[in-house]
Structure 1
């Protein structure tokens, strides 16, 4: 037997009164999280849902998330976390594509009408049978959208014998962002997810007096799920939930709760640094581990953070299909800013060409990965699985180089590469150069259609506060600092850039 719920259950047995979750003024002990999760498992069994069934969960970073997540796992079922920004049509698609039998859905707020969207998506689905509402008002037993979570749990025992699951049974189905075609569900086993949490836990040092981890990365995303919630629960840390990222509020919460561990995407670090430099803010003094993933971190942001906070950012790499962590700049080894470090324990990486042939030396080439973290495949899509998996290797779609010490550095997504007049141009390289200009706060480079060159290079730029640099001035500067075929011919200034719920810049929208 191997069940991912052990990361909660073991901590609940060892430290029942230890704080597991902090949300606002609430401090919920491990025993309470485990008890409610057991009630959820009992509820599912009474509704005919058990081993191998799929249960969807649409919820921001609220205590409901671990209640339901671990309850589903205890019942031997598979969790299908949904992005809370999905519209009704998209929710219906995910329910049908995953064959979900139930949906636990947050009631929502005026700014995030998730209950309304979730109900409509549930009703439009073909096979989903049960709809449970996670009320916005704590402990509310009624909801306009359907059966209240708390009413459904009424009378359910707080003890449950966890269903035996095999290491290769599916624990979680994580949907990819769907940059091409419809989103696909990556099937991750109990072994995939548990090993990734264990290795992540052992890779990052613990604070002497116990860790306090800020969960601002969405828990429906693999990064927040594994590196923060599952790793945090395994190390018996207090996980501070923040439903929506705001740089000022995040900094204040770090100070208030004595946060020791922060994981974020690069734009979160950029936003906090911008807030500090523009307005000033009280700095957290307890922070001793800062990790970044989800996208490539601009080197300027890495340097600025270390100068400002006094600790470096450990940059890593992974995908939903890899549970997600695949490589990291790790403690005990030299940190190389701008790289994604080396493969984590039990994982191998290599560079390949379009025909799966191994590329020796520096590269560049496409990153391929194999190890305990690789998904079983895309749910219900054997052909799509065969396209990306061969002999245990998973091809990522990311281009990288590798130095003599085995450190990998992401060059770009294969789909983001620009071909201008026959020359390959990697947007990330240009973004790094642009951000060395004192007037550039953040930059995103994309290719736009061009009659003679095929593609032309365009930069979307957020200026630093107070800067009045013009398009012509920035293009002239870029011409002096980049090769003739590389520098952007078009610059558009914006106050903000479109981002996903996890903070990744949406280049497909810019294109």
Structure 2
């Protein structure tokens, strides 16, 4: 008797998931952007034509690297899925990079081709092979026929290279596999439940960023609709979320702060009845802000997640725990393990504080052409990005600070995030950041940058007095600098390296 034929294993990729969704509901709207929308049938067809274009006209093959430089747009999804389904590795770069910043990253990833939105063409070195799209240009795939068969791409094959923001040094290329991204998407579907066929997810963050991409891809993987905006506008965000249309939204803390401020001066009913999930990430969401969201937007909505491009998503705190576990980022995400290690590298079991490590199918494959930095980040299969965390008796995690941001003043180790938390409790403080600056007597002293509310008459002495009532003397900032804003990267993280470069302003 002959053995039964074993079906060929189908590797899971994000592009394949879109094709499967198109088989289920071809005429359902997949993506909506400004005055355009694509059904799943149209999206799958355009992805197929991009795939054909990449091999037939551009002669790209598996392993070739392509830089994608574009603002949020429908073509971003088409290009990303079409290229990666052919095994092309896409470096998704920040469209706001300067020419010099772009040149440095291009030299690192050594792309075969740069694909740039027409409005960014002048940023790209004219010596680089470049294709442009957008604006009044002819559609790149206008005369291209869909591909018949996609090549077999393994789940371990590189999907994208995402460059770090360079908050602690030169940007590093984070290599993410197809497996990393699809496992992240599946865990998101389980945890947040706002990406299915009856959902319309609102995305207002940059698509080039790792978080932006996964919130684009998750609805498409599960047959939902994703509504993309070109950028974040507070008034438009409130209007969109006040309608009975969107079921989920991803917001970085800066967006939430601006929305809360704007809503405080408005009588508009908010949010709409269909909204069931609000997800915050990219930077710490202060406990005072969490309480405002719960009290003003309603219970059962807010999730805060912790992760990094190298990890994927590590933890999530659910709505029911937001007021019970102050400042916590929750428990490990689906299929993720987390542990705390002491300064000697020993695992701390139970409660404790130390360097956070994580392990799971969503972690990165290493830094591009940078084995030394990869060895620092990956130890025994566990990944760390240098964040110090605490775990309580219930297994909930709390991010203390980045190890590199720790300040040593008079021999005392100080984590700025603790001081920032105290400052954010002041009603008139909109945002803040604390850093260490050189001091001849103490080695380092604390400097606080404070963004105050427009109507506030906050003074340095009031802030210092507030801190004196809640912090040990070594943790009280010696310098208080008021500023209109804080420098941030595209994901909303404060760029403390830029703050360290600022000259002290006169009060």
Structure 2 unaligned blocks of 5 or more: 1-9, 501-507
**For residues 244 and 472 of structure 1, do their structure 2 counterparts lie closer, same or farther at Cα, with a shift above 3 Å needed?**
same
Write the distance in 2 (CA, Å) between the matches of 1:238 and 1:415: 40
| Structure 1 counterpart SS, 2:292 | helix
Write the distance in 1 (CA, Å) between the matches of 2:383 and 2:63: 25
Q: Which residue of 2 aligns with 1:184?
A: 172
| Structure 2 counterpart SS, 1:367 | strand
Per-residue deviation at 1:200? 0.7
Q: Which residue of 1 aligns with 2:457?
A: 468
Equivalences for residues 389-408 of structure 1 within 5 A = 389-408=378-397
Question: Cα deviations across residues 415-435 of structure 1 (Å, max 9, x unaligned)?
Answer: 111111111111111111112
Q: Which residue of 2 aligns with 1:147?
A: none
Q: Which residue of 2 aligns with 1:295?
A: 283
Write the distance in 1 (CA, Å) between the matches of 2:349 and 2:454: 45
Q: Which residue of 1 aligns with 2:95?
A: 84
Are the aligned partners of 1:259 and 1:284 in contact in 2 as well (CA < 8 Å)? no
Alignment of 1:509 onto 2:505: no
Question: Cα deviations across residues 65-90 of structure 1 (Å, max 9, x unaligned)?
Answer: 10100011121211210011111122
Provide the alpha-carbon RMSD of the alignment. 1.9
| Structure 2 counterpart SS, 1:38 | helix
Q: Which residue of 1 aligns with 2:67?
A: 56
**For residues 493 and 388 of structure 1, do their structure 2 counterparts lie closer, same or farther at Cα, with a shift above 3 Å needed?**
same
Are the aligned partners of 2:164 and 2:172 in contact in 1 as well (CA < 8 Å)? yes
Deviation larger for 340-349 or 157-166: 157-166
Alignment of 1:115 onto 2:125: no
Write the distance in 2 (CA, Å) between the matches of 1:292 and 1:367: 20
Structure 1 unaligned blocks of 5 or more: 109-113, 142-149
Write the distance in 2 (CA, Å) between the matches of 1:116 and 1:457: 41
Deviation larger for 331-340 or 67-76: 331-340
Are the aligned partners of 1:212 and 1:257 in contact in 2 as well (CA < 8 Å)? no
Alignment equivalent of 2:229, drawn from 235, 239, 242: 242
Per-residue deviation at 1:214? 1.2
Question: Cα deviations across residues 186-214 of structure 1 (Å, max 9, x unaligned)?
Answer: 11111111111111111112389711111
Q: Which residue of 2 aligns with 1:25?
A: 35
Q: Which residue of 1 aligns with 2:295?
A: 307
**For residues 175 and 326 of structure 1, do their structure 2 counterparts lie closer, same or farther at Cα, with a shift above 3 Å needed?**
same
Alignment of 1:9 onto 2:12: no
Write the distance in 2 (CA, Å) between the matches of 1:158 and 1:208: 27
Write the distance in 1 (CA, Å) between the matches of 2:326 and 2:178: 33
**For residues 450 and 160 of structure 1, do their structure 2 counterparts lie closer, same or farther at Cα, with a shift above 3 Å needed?**
farther
Equivalences for residues 164-183 of structure 1 within 5 A = 164-183=152-171
Per-residue deviation at 1:255? 3.0
Deviation larger for 469-478 or 15-24: 469-478
Question: Cα deviations across residues 419-476 of structure 1 (Å, max 9, x unaligned)?
Answer: 1111111111111111212222222111122111111111111222321121122212
Q: Which residue of 2 aligns with 1:145?
A: none
Are the aligned partners of 1:475 and 1:490 in contact in 2 as well (CA < 8 Å)? no
Per-residue deviation at 1:159? 3.9
Are the aligned partners of 1:251 and 1:282 in contact in 2 as well (CA < 8 Å)? no
Equivalences for residues 472-483 of structure 1 within 5 A = 472-483=461-472
TM-score, normalised on structure 1? 0.91
Per-residue deviation at 1:373? 1.2
| Structure 2 counterpart SS, 1:164 | coil
Question: Cα deviations across residues 27-50 of structure 1 (Å, max 9, x unaligned)?
Answer: 211111111111111111012101
Per-residue deviation at 1:336? 3.1
Q: Which residue of 1 aligns with 2:192?
A: 204
Q: State the aligned residue count.
A: 486
Deviation larger for 160-169 or 90-99: 90-99
Are the aligned partners of 1:217 and 1:264 in contact in 2 as well (CA < 8 Å)? yes
| Structure 2 counterpart SS, 1:12 | helix
**For residues 265 and 206 of structure 1, do their structure 2 counterparts lie closer, same or farther at Cα, with a shift above 3 Å needed?**
closer
Q: Which residue of 1 aligns with 2:476?
A: 487
Write the distance in 1 (CA, Å) between the matches of 2:146 and 2:14: 19
Are the aligned partners of 2:197 and 2:223 in contact in 1 as well (CA < 8 Å)? no
TM-score, normalised on structure 2? 0.91
| Structure 2 counterpart SS, 1:153 | coil
Are the aligned partners of 2:197 and 2:225 in contact in 1 as well (CA < 8 Å)? no
Q: Which residue of 2 aligns with 1:40?
A: 50
Write the distance in 2 (CA, Å) between the matches of 1:168 and 1:60: 28
Alignment of 1:255 onto 2:265: no
Write the distance in 2 (CA, Å) between the matches of 1:67 and 1:375: 24
Alignment of 1:93 onto 2:80: no
Per-residue deviation at 1:135? 1.8
| Structure 2 counterpart SS, 1:100 | coil
Deviation larger for 90-99 or 386-395: 90-99
Deviation larger for 67-76 or 348-357: 348-357
Q: Which residue of 2 aligns with 1:380?
A: 369
